[in-house]
Structure 1
């Protein structure tokens, strides 16, 4: 850099961190601190902390260094720096809950008014450590400070109660909030029901989950539902949920790769490639396909001669085939002619 002042350092660090190159951004920050001239300003520190919050253990180490720098230089803990420090500690996989609560107390003592993000960090830390009473207190404090709880705050409470096995309280939080539960909240609640084997409570919301969350956007929700049905020995319901996902994956495959079965000299052709053997098919004839393939999810589906249901197609009439085959065996079953 031609001019190495605080502004140019900050611009470089912010650019790398905001564009996903957090390691490089932190490397520049360490170099800046080592040179001690110029010293990082609050803009630079804010950029670094925003990156630290998304970097797990590595980010935690850097965040603690930044925290030490703030203390060493006697900076006042304002809402921006305080909240970013809270967020960094709260998102650490080690769950530095006491550090989070201590920082929040320091902010209060300094007269710093917390914002929505501050409370998200605090409630997240309480959920990780199972600090139920503290979580209740801080959730109540949101309104006491003139803010309105957002969906992420309710989500933290559902997660906290769920992990602690307080499923009734988690359910009441979802009932009372003015937001529709999102996929994160549903996942948290259903995971807790599975963990604590509380199918009866999960059953209260399954109908709404199936209405609100579509298989193509399920984020693992349908797998949780299937697991819950299996745990409760509701085999038919478990199979029904699995089939919803299976059918969606097959539809998605068809939309992405429409195809047609056509006549080939050696059998049936698929995308102009012979993929099946057997009696030569006649254009317009119906064929019965037994197939083995792989879904986008990685699951194998199989409808070979010995198991599963075959699918019937008409050969070479321009109809899109709703399956993406990796292997195909087919036999004519009648019909015919042009």
Structure 2
């Protein structure tokens, strides 16, 4: 019962902890089982708390305890905790255990401490495939793709995990073309992609607008007999939407069993519809989502706010923005930016400016850029000057900000100030690049 509750996706890890607390002198196996369960749960910090409780109960950890502890520490991404766990392992003499060493590499990589990860890796007398993969993944997570590639080239044996980690690393670093090149190399050597690989490749296609390549990925899945899992369907929808193939995105979405779906796939479809101006359809999907019983999250509301901004639905935008707080969510910079965009597009630029002034966070250039566009489009030139100056202050090395303010003065026919703004740009050594307008 304890093992089922702790490790099964149908189980209740907190119930397992209660069962453990009622056992008389529980064996290390039971402690490890619950620590392992918490390490995979939404509260990995409870693995650490339970470990401390175990030590206080006089139970000594064994070689199976520490990998679960390292996993929890890696998920929490706290370097100080990772170092403390490593010190505890060294104290108990398990540092030479191969499985534990692999766990330490992964833990440090997840915490962004690639130097410590490499120290553990280099100190291993014997390295397994998982050791190389953990080191590669650590470099990739830290954005050190040259080192990740070096490890990849030195690997005595590569598997789908190795290829996937490298591809995902390039995607995370924004080098989408290289990610696709690596995938082609992977295919050439006959290594079969898995779900993780394909999610990364579809993400690269989405950012590049490579629709044909994305379609080819779907054919690849079918040819290889791969199941269209929920993450893959979500990635396909996102790719199709970002590539402008909204009809194909809808075909994939409508092929999903809604009662087996999750919030991610609904977010992808709502966001895709919003991106292409299908405002009504986006809002209708939100209603359907709630009927099915899917709880919206911050990303859902971001898509809805974007839809409202594109459709000029200011009242609806306010409703969704306020709904965030009512549902216990804290609006992020992106939510505020969408709200500013909605007000600015609708010509309510004074309200947008007041909204920005009352925000609990500093305005971003994109927010002020949206407001400046709204001011220019709706003839609010006095406010445009204020916003233009703020943009120059915020990004003094951005040529477009000076051009934008200069354009405002030119519309006012305040030629001296327009010239002074251009001269300030030259004095500060800011170069004018072709193609910039007053907003990006």
TM-score (norm 1): 0.65
Segment of structure 1 superposing worse, 223-232 or 202-211 = 202-211
Q: 1:233 to 1:12 in 2, by over 3 A?
A: same
Which is greater in Rg?
A: 1
- Structure 1 spans left out of the alignment, 5+ residues: 253-294, 300-338
Q: 1:138 to 1:15 in 2, by over 3 A?
A: closer
CA contact (8 A) 1:186 1:221 kept: no
Question: Per-residue displacement from partner, 1:210-246 (whole Å, max 9, x unpaired)?
Answer: 32221x235x332221111111121111112222333
Give how far 1:81 is off: 1.0
- Aligned residue for 2:216? 27
Alignment partners' CA distance in 2, 1:296 and 1:217: 9
- Structure 2 spans left out of the alignment, 5+ residues: 1-186, 436-440
Alignment partners' CA distance in 2, 1:77 and 1:147: 22
Which one of the candidate residues 228, 234, 240 is aligned to 1:40? 228
Matches within 5 A, 1:140-219: 140-214=322-396, 216-218=397-399
Give how far 1:67 is off: 1.5
Give how far 1:66 is off: 1.4
Give how far 1:30 is off: 4.7
CA contact (8 A) 1:113 1:145 kept: no
Alignment partners' CA distance in 1, 2:412 and 2:432: 28
Alignment partners' CA distance in 2, 1:36 and 1:64: 24
| Residue correspondences, number | 243
Q: CA RMSD in A?
A: 2.6
Determine helix, strand or coil for the equivalent of 2:433.
coil
Which one of the candidate residues 82, 86, 90 is aligned to 2:274? 90
Give how far 1:74 is off: 4.8
Q: 1:50 to 1:247 in 2, by over 3 A?
A: farther
Alignment partners' CA distance in 1, 2:426 and 2:306: 34
Q: 1:207 to 1:217 in 2, by over 3 A?
A: closer
Give how far 1:3 is off: 8.9
- Aligned residue for 1:297? 433
- 2:414 corresponds to 1:234: yes
Alignment partners' CA distance in 2, 1:28 and 1:298: 36
Give how far 1:78 is off: 2.0
Give how far 1:162 is off: 0.8
Give how far 1:113 is off: 2.0
Question: Per-residue displacement from partner, 1:278-308 (whole Å, max 9, x unpaired)?
Answer: xxxxxxxxxxxxxxxxx66149xxxxxxxxx
Give how far 1:38 is off: 4.5
Segments of 4+ in structure 1 off by > 6 A?
A: 1-4
Determine helix, strand or coil for the equivalent of 2:242.
coil
TM-score (norm 2): 0.51
CA contact (8 A) 2:267 2:299 kept: yes
CA contact (8 A) 1:127 1:159 kept: yes
Alignment partners' CA distance in 1, 2:353 and 2:408: 17
Determine helix, strand or coil for the equivalent of 2:238.
helix
Which one of the candidate residues 317, 325, 333 is aligned to 1:135? 317
- Aligned residue for 1:246? 426
More helix by share: 2
Q: 1:79 to 1:298 in 2, by over 3 A?
A: closer
CA contact (8 A) 1:229 1:238 kept: yes
- Structure with the bigger RCO (C-alpha within 8 Å, sep 6+) is 1
Alignment partners' CA distance in 1, 2:383 and 2:258: 51
Give how far 1:40 is off: 0.6
Q: 1:26 to 1:11 in 2, by over 3 A?
A: farther
More strand by share: 1
Alignment partners' CA distance in 1, 2:386 and 2:404: 15
